Amino acid sequence: MHVFDYQSYLQGFQKYVEDFDPYTMFSPDQIMGKDVRLLHIKKEGSLDLAVEGGINSPVGKIVVSAIYEGGAADKHGGIVKGDEIMAVNGKILLDAKLDEARAALAKAWNVGGDWIDLVIAVCPPKEYDDEMTFF
Amino acid sequence: VLSDSEERIKPYTLEEFSYDYFRPPPKHTLSRVMITKNRGKDKLWSYTREPIKQPLLKKILSSEEVSQEACMAFIAILKYMGDYPSKRTRSVNELTDQIFEGALKAEALRDEIYSQILKQLTDNHVKYSEEKGWELLWLCTGLFVPSNVLLLHVQRFVQSRKHHPLAPDCLQRLQKALRNGSRKYPPHLVEVEAIQHKTTQIFHKVYFPDDTDEAFEVESSTKAKDFCQSISKRLLLKSSEGFSLFIKISDKVISVPEGDFFFDFVRHLTDWIKKARPAKDGLVPSLTYQVFFMKKLWTNTVPGKDSMADSIFHYYQELPKYLRGYHKCTREEVLQLGALIYRVKFEDDKSSFPNIPKLLKDLVPEPLIRQLSPDDWKRSIVAYFNKHAGKTREEAQLAFLKIVFRWPTFGSAFFEVKQTTDPNYPELLLVAINKHGVSLIDRKTKDILITHPFTKISNWSSGNTYFHITIGNLVRGSKLLCETSLGYKMDDLLTSYISQMLTAMSKQRGAKGSK
């Protein structure tokens, strides 16, 4: 079990829930080499987070494909394109197909509670130029 | 009594057409005529300020959904023409979207929209409204044509109003729409703005790799392929093969498919970007874009064959790839090329020699700069420069291209990616897509680790965060997954090269078959 540090969260000092222990949710090989964090996002407006991938896709996992400007995910911060979504509100998405993950995200956002919990594996900083192309 | 000539010039209306194809007038009409004599208002084929509660055309009455869409479009027409109260619109094309969007999706609505516009142009004595109606007809004739049944009536309608400045253009646009087919998206902002400013000619700036730009006329019916051909002609290129238009918008550079209408593609793109960046506090995000014309597929590019293509495109497109250090090359080649680049910049002027150490990043591939001291680079480059005495700028460009052309990485698009599927290769890779296929290159040594020819690539896909190819068949194949934001470009290039290859193969087969 983990306890959220609501006080410091409300003060807006942290993007991640500090005392989250990923080993309570995942086996060691599920998180090997990953930087796993818990995000606790307040439900305000729309989440505006798009995902791609899924267990049947080449990437084999659920990946953030876009964070739209001005949405709740964008305002919260701490999550970017390329991050893996491992769980939403306690439901583990490691074996989820894309539409299952989308449904789980929509349900978590629309049904019950004022917050949504996302467990993400942070995408490491890019060590290559990912912007330019010369044709 | 009207004389014959007066009869002939009486503007044509949809009256005759309406007897067969418009919905029948409501049952009470006859009795009301007896009482009010106010017949003008009940002519279904002529101007009204009253919203319609049913579509004009009989054939769409049966579909509730289409009928409703027709009535909504009519209200938008009334609003556009100033015949119905409306708030200030947020964007120039908000009302035109409402008018044309339905008809572009459902063919059944196309005749209805033509009928509605012609109706509002019949016996319309409000000058402002009539002018706005002509704008709509002009826009409409650039999007789609009416059915064969209505076409003749539309043509006669316009022909009998030849005095109107837009009439000849509308007739011409109908012809072009008949030839080129229907558009997919409602008029682009540029089209609406043009006609509102009373101009039927639209010029678009096109940028070239040599840092120049020129304005070209674009019409509603212009397809990317036609656009490319008119640019090639103006620039005196021998062929437009392999060249493409590119739209640069927000952080993306996207190539325009040959068969797409230019305005459709730009419209589609801006709509898509708008979706990704929703308007904040009612402010529409800036959606400015630039149009580029560049070489995209280098399959048949041989330096020296087309001098204009070499000097405007090939040299300026290959130069930055070389300077990024994407190719494997010898010291000798680097010095030669450095001297040639200097000559392209300054021709025979030696007064910039002392600046060479400061100009190194423009003369030498970035990863190699540290291999020599700035002064050693200068000395060697100057020595090579003197060997090319008398060479003009164009000759230097060609000499540069002829050296680069020898490399297997000539004419490539390069992508820096992270691959996670094959432990035999480094994680960080350089991927080159060119006429030979997809090559994986070691980032440090620039050695080509493997080249997968297009004939061996059986499947590919991309997302916002990845690019994926399957090589060979399912049983004995291998997969390559690349982490990248540029998957959309890799996908497009692969698709384009492979379809070019397939077209060439089927042409060959056709030629053999006919012998």
| Number of other residues whose CB lies within 10 A of the CB of residue B403 | 18
DSSP per-residue string spanning B436-485: TEEEEEETTT--EEEEE-GGGEEEEEE-SSEEEEEES-TTT-EEEEEE-S
The verdict on a CB contact (< 8 Å) between B486 and A126 is no
The verdict on a CB contact (< 8 Å) between B466 and A68 is no
Quote the pTM value: 0.87
Instruction: Characterize the bridge pairing of strands A115-121 and B202-207.
Output: unpaired
Give residue A26's region: left, alpha or beta (phi > 0; psi -120 to 50).
Answer: beta
Report H helices in B314-439.
315-323, 331-346, 356-363, 374-387, 393-404
* Both structure tokens of B80: 């556009």
Residue from the list B418, B443, B463 with its beta carbon closest to the beta carbon of A65 = B463
DSSP annotation of A42: E
- Which pLDDT value is given to residue B477? 81
Residues of B in contact with A131 (CB under 8 A): 251, 485-486
Q: Which of B317, B311, B326 is nearest to B395 (CA)?
A: B311
Q: Does B280 touch chain A (CB under 8 A)?
A: yes
Report residue B457 CA to chain centroid gap. 28
Q: Is residue B304 a contact partner of residue B343, using CB atoms and an 8 Å limit?
A: no
Over the stretch A74-125, which tens digit does the pLDDT of each residue have? 999 999 999 999 999 999 999 999 999 999 999 999 998 899 999 999 998 8
Residues of B in contact with A135 (CB under 8 A): 246, 255, 294-296, 317, 413
Give the C-alpha separation, B381 to B342, whole Å: 9
- Which pLDDT value is given to residue B285? 56
Give the C-alpha separation, B87 to B83, whole Å: 13
* pLDDT tens-place values along chain B, 515 residues long: 444 554 556 899 999 999 999 998 776 655 555 544 444 456 899 999 999 999 999 999 999 999 999 999 999 999 999 999 988 777 889 999 999 999 999 999 999 999 999 999 999 999 999 999 999 999 999 999 999 999 999 999 999 999 999 999 999 999 999 999 999 999 999 999 999 999 999 999 999 999 999 999 999 999 999 999 999 999 999 999 999 999 998 778 999 999 999 999 999 988 887 776 655 555 555 678 999 999 999 999 999 999 999 999 999 999 999 999 999 999 999 999 999 999 999 999 999 999 999 999 999 999 999 999 999 999 999 999 999 888 999 999 999 999 999 999 999 999 999 998 988 899 999 999 999 999 999 999 999 999 999 999 999 999 999 999 999 876 778 899 999 999 999 999 999 999 999 988 888 887 766 54
Give the C-alpha separation, B391 to B86, whole Å: 67
> Cα–Cα distances in Å, from B34 out to B25, B38, B390?
15, 9, 96
Residues of B in contact with A58 (CB under 8 A): 461, 466, 468, 479, 481
Q: Does B483 touch chain A (CB under 8 A)?
A: yes
How many A×B Cβ pairs under 8 Å?
77
| Number of other residues whose CB lies within 10 A of the CB of residue A43 | 15
Residue from the list B280, B417, B479 with its beta carbon closest to the beta carbon of A128 = B417
Q: Which of B465, B478, B481, B496 to mutate to test the interface with A (most CBs of A within 10 A)?
A: B465
Residue from the list B321, B414, B465 with its beta carbon closest to the beta carbon of A65 = B465
Report H helices in chain A.
6-10, 72-76, 98-110
Q: Where are the beta strands (DSSP E) in chain A?
A: 36-42, 49-53, 62-67, 84-88, 91-92, 115-121
Give the C-alpha separation, B23 to B53, whole Å: 12
Residue from the list B246, B413, B418 with its beta carbon closest to the beta carbon of A128 = B418
Q: Is residue B403 a contact partner of residue B332, using CB atoms and an 8 Å limit?
A: no
Residue from the list B280, B317, B464 with its beta carbon closest to the beta carbon of A66 = B464
The verdict on a CB contact (< 8 Å) between B246 and A70 is no
Q: Does B485 touch chain A (CB under 8 A)?
A: yes
Distance from CA of A1 to the nearest CA of B (A): 33
Residues of A in contact with B464 (CB under 8 A): 50, 52, 65-66, 81
* Both structure tokens of B314: 């090939």
Residues of A in contact with B246 (CB under 8 A): 135
Q: Does B274 touch chain A (CB under 8 A)?
A: no
A99, exposed or middle or buried, with CB in 10 Å at 0-12, 13-18, 19+? exposed
B317, exposed or middle or buried, with CB in 10 Å at 0-12, 13-18, 19+? buried
Q: Does A46 touch chain B (CB under 8 A)?
A: no
Nearest Cα residue in chain B from A80: B465
Tokens 């399912």 sit on residue: B474
Distance from CA of B313 to the nearest CA of A (A): 10
What is the ipTM metric for this complex?
Answer: 0.83
Report H helices in B85-187.
94-105, 108-120, 127-141, 148-159, 167-180
Q: Is residue B272 a contact partner of residue B266, using CB atoms and an 8 Å limit?
A: no
Question: Residue type at B67?
Answer: S
Q: Is residue B299 a contact partner of residue B496, using CB atoms and an 8 Å limit?
A: no
Q: Is residue B229 a contact partner of residue B258, using CB atoms and an 8 Å limit?
A: no
* Both structure tokens of B331: 């010291």
First to last CA, chain B: 71
Phi, psi of B51 (to 5 degrees): -60, 145
* Both structure tokens of B379: 């000395």
Q: Does B295 touch chain A (CB under 8 A)?
A: yes
Residue from the list A48, A63, A131 with its beta carbon closest to the beta carbon of B465 = A63
